[in-house]
Amino acid sequence: MINRVVLVGRLTRDPELRYTPSGVAVANFTIAVNRPFSNQQGERDADFISIVVWRRAAENVANFVGKGSLVGIDGRLQTRSYDNNEGKRVYITEVVADSVQFLEPKGQKGGSNPSSGPNTNTYQPSGAGSPNDFQPSGGGQRRGQGSNPFNDPFGDDPFANDGKPIDISDDDLPF
């Protein structure tokens, strides 16, 4: 079975950070995701999707993003239900995030600055433990800040195809 969700959208409000009785952090927030088509008035509608993120990533989301921030979400869809105070069954569908990417620099909410590029800070599961144990990955450095291993200030790939054939023998291939 496959249950995978990938979304990019803007937070509609600041994340709500809480802790379970056992001390595990959980953050809830909603993102607005534009639909790929316009309505009859020529306006683009949006879907408002509830997101839940756990543990260290929940704390990072609460500390580093807020209303209007652009984020990328990779996770799974989950449906749950409960009986409310009136005895009526309430169904909730939400995305449980496995990875949250902050897609704009801190302090730049809702705007666009084409020269700055995306922020590459992500929080993804570490190899051990629960799938929701998150460790930072990515350098957080953006293109043009000297973060690449070739000390190329422009971020150009020295191995990019320059129009010449690549000289490689079959013995060099691992398969």
Q: Is the separation of the CB atoms in 103 and 6 below 8 Å?
A: no
Q: How many C-alpha atoms does 12 have within 13 Å on its Cβ side?
A: 13
**Nearest-5° Cα angle at 152, 151 to 155:** 125
Helix (H) or strand (E) holding 60: helix 55-64
Task: Please name the residues in contact with 154: beta carbons below 8 A apart, sequence gap of 6 or more.
Answer: 144
- 47 occurs within a structural domain: yes
Cβ-proximal residues to 174 (8 Å cutoff; 6+ apart), any chain: none
Is the distance from CB of 51 to CB of 72 less than 8 angstroms?
no
Classify residue 152: in a domain, yes or no. no
pLDDT digits (tens, 9 = 90+) for 47-100: 999 999 999 999 999 998 988 899 999 999 999 999 999 999 999 999 999 999
Instruction: Give the pair of three-digit tokens for residue 25.
Output: 């952090």
User: What CATH number does residue 109 fall under?
Assistant: 2.40.50.140
pLDDT at 150: 47
**pTM for the full model?**
0.59
Does a structural domain hold residue 17?
yes
User: Quick check: is 90 in a domain?
Assistant: yes
Mean pLDDT of 92-113: 77
Query: What value does the mean pLDDT take over residues 115-134?
Result: 42
Query: Among 35, 64, 29, 60, which Cα is nearest to 47's?
Result: 35
Indicate the pLDDT class of residue 104, thresholds 50, 70 and 90.
confident
Most confident of the ranges 9-13, 121-125, 133-137, 164-168: 9-13
Number of structural domains (the chain) is 1
pLDDT, residue 165, reads 65
CA distance 30 to 66: 11
- The reply to whether 65 falls in a domain is yes
Asked if residue 126 belongs to a domain, the reply is: yes
Cα 59 from Cα 27, distance rounded (Å): 7
Q: Which amino acid is at 109?
A: K
Residue 85 belongs to what domain range?
5-146
Q: How far apart are CA 9 and CA 26, in angstroms?
A: 20
139 occurs within a structural domain: yes
How many residues in the chain?
175
- Domain assignment present for residue 174? The answer is no
